[in-house]
Structure 1
């Protein structure tokens, strides 16, 4: 959702600066600044909130500050009116399928004030934020639990004349959820942010006057460009009246003047991009896979959970592909995968002791059947396709053909 009236918003957005100043005073200790940091701001808007609220918190050694917004008109206004020549500006849809390549792994810190509640695909946005961050980079975001105009748009979405313009698409993404907080936390985790904090900040904002209130809701009415021009005046009146609903916004009379208030609850979210590194050795098939599979087909033994002793992809035609898919889907995008084939030799009873020691199913076998189970199991392990038995210097040598996967992976 993009706002398209920068001049009007610049005149009426006092609410964002007042609340942001309050929140930064409370939560600025969470901003762990890196030296010579590269900083990105999403939802920069027309630039007023940054200059009045956030700029005082910027360290003097910031290497770069890139201000972005989904709205071309907003970012052009910000660029034109900026008093800080070292700032960069760019148009950016943080929920796009792909972000510009020059942004990937570039920023130490990302900030977004009053923006995520206007993003229709929060999880995709979080994924992009993760990809844009450097290792150990952080995000700091503030956003409404419910946007002050959600109720108005919800009512219009049920109105015969206005529902065709899909007002629900301009509401906060989890307005209809019984627990927006859980939705936001789920999105953070699913996107890859394992380390995060989410705080709630509630309050009441008092508007300067009715004119400020009307202009604020006009400038943030992102659905307006979707309404035909010949209907906009009437839509605006109905919409504005609907915002004064007594739920998020209400009016009181003080000294014969109308005083407008907005009751809000916001989330303050911080998260860090961390890396996990793993180094694993995994057998494609174990020494007991084949015998356990055979015993599963014997009625007497099939009810003791023998399948739990079999390697996870024993029945797959391509175990390597399965392991690689799991790596990728769990966030390990940078990995190396090696294969090592060989033969391992056991001497005398060493093989029998080994296969019994790795058979996690033994505790489930009743005592009166245990020795019989071991006997059958021993016979089957020695008949596997990967097992070979020979005599050497008067000793029985049992050899096992193996394929070993070696994985080195890094997860962001």
Structure 2
């Protein structure tokens, strides 16, 4: 895992643009109150959380918690914001336990492009359970994942090549667990079916666009344009 916060911040323009569109699209479904507690799961170095999510929150929110498995990325995020209502918590969303103080604590839980990195089936189920356990009754969840993209096929094919197989030992850790599923939306909703959570909206748009700036694409500028159709999956859920 790369924990260079400055590199993440330099190359996340696409994620910020997309997260902004998602929030604008679904904001009408979210129920805001006075003094709400908010969490962003997989916040990384904070670009989406602080530059996109935070400005769109109601001014009377109580707390925004940036959660991520990397303490180094959270330290980078901490240096970028002096809002006393913003807190930072190192945690693995797929762990077997969650902090006791977070149980039924949050009115809103967001996650942008994090859950597709939780690749194990059991780990993914635990992540979903943990998110539900942290949500207050009446609270809502909004998250987006990359469910499928030809880039994943490209990585898998590279791993089978003798030329690249020695560099592709961890390729399965890079592939979304939803990539080869026929109905990724149903699979993603399944952990919540026996709970009080109700599905408010599901969309699976496909997009193409420009790969953001990064050292690799500066070396190989002809690859900066990607025409592959990437499938995203966005869900809005409410705990009743």
**TM tier, shorter chain?**
0.7 to 0.9
Judging changes above 3 Å, is the alpha-carbon distance between structure 1 residues 164 and 112 closer, same or farther for their aligned structure 2 residues? Answer: closer
1:262 deviates by 5.7
Q: 1:130 aligns with which of 113, 129, 132?
A: 132
- For residues 153 and 166 of structure 2, the distance between their equivalents in structure 1, rounded to whole angstroms, comes to 14
Counterpart in the other structure of 1:86: 85
Q: Count matched residues.
A: 234
1:112-138 CA-to-partner distances (Å, cap 9, x unmatched) read 112111112322111101111111111
SS in structure 2 of the partner of residue 263 of structure 1: strand
1:215 deviates by 6.0
CA RMSD of aligned residues (A): 2.7
Residue 153 (str. 1) matches residue 152 (str. 2) = no
Runs (5+) with no aligned partner, structure 2: none
- For residues 262 and 82 of structure 1, the distance between their equivalents in structure 2, rounded to whole angstroms, comes to 36
SS in structure 1 of the partner of residue 93 of structure 2: coil
1:56-110 CA-to-partner distances (Å, cap 9, x unmatched) read 2201111111111112221111112224232110111111111111211111111
1:260-319 CA-to-partner distances (Å, cap 9, x unmatched) read 556322111111122xxxxxxxxxxxxxxxxxxxxxxxxxxxxxxxxxxxxxxxxxxxxx
1:154-202 CA-to-partner distances (Å, cap 9, x unmatched) read 1233245338723112210122223322321223325x35411322222
Judging changes above 3 Å, is the alpha-carbon distance between structure 1 residues 109 and 194 closer, same or farther for their aligned structure 2 residues? Answer: closer
- For residues 73 and 175 of structure 2, the distance between their equivalents in structure 1, rounded to whole angstroms, comes to 20
Residue 195 (str. 1) matches residue 194 (str. 2) = no
Map 1:344-355 onto structure 2 (within 5 A). Answer: none
Bigger Rg, structure 1 or 2: 1
SS in structure 2 of the partner of residue 271 of structure 1: strand
Map 1:364-379 onto structure 2 (within 5 A). Answer: none
- For residues 148 and 101 of structure 1, the distance between their equivalents in structure 2, rounded to whole angstroms, comes to 40
Judging changes above 3 Å, is the alpha-carbon distance between structure 1 residues 136 and 118 closer, same or farther for their aligned structure 2 residues? Answer: same
Matched-pair contact (CA < 8 Å) for 2:205–2:233: yes
Normalising by structure 1, what TM-score? 0.52
Normalising by structure 2, what TM-score? 0.85
Counterpart in the other structure of 1:62: 61
- For residues 77 and 259 of structure 1, the distance between their equivalents in structure 2, rounded to whole angstroms, comes to 29
Matched-pair contact (CA < 8 Å) for 1:108–1:138: yes
Counterpart in the other structure of 2:28: 29
- For residues 66 and 106 of structure 1, the distance between their equivalents in structure 2, rounded to whole angstroms, comes to 11
Counterpart in the other structure of 1:167: 171
Counterpart in the other structure of 1:366: none
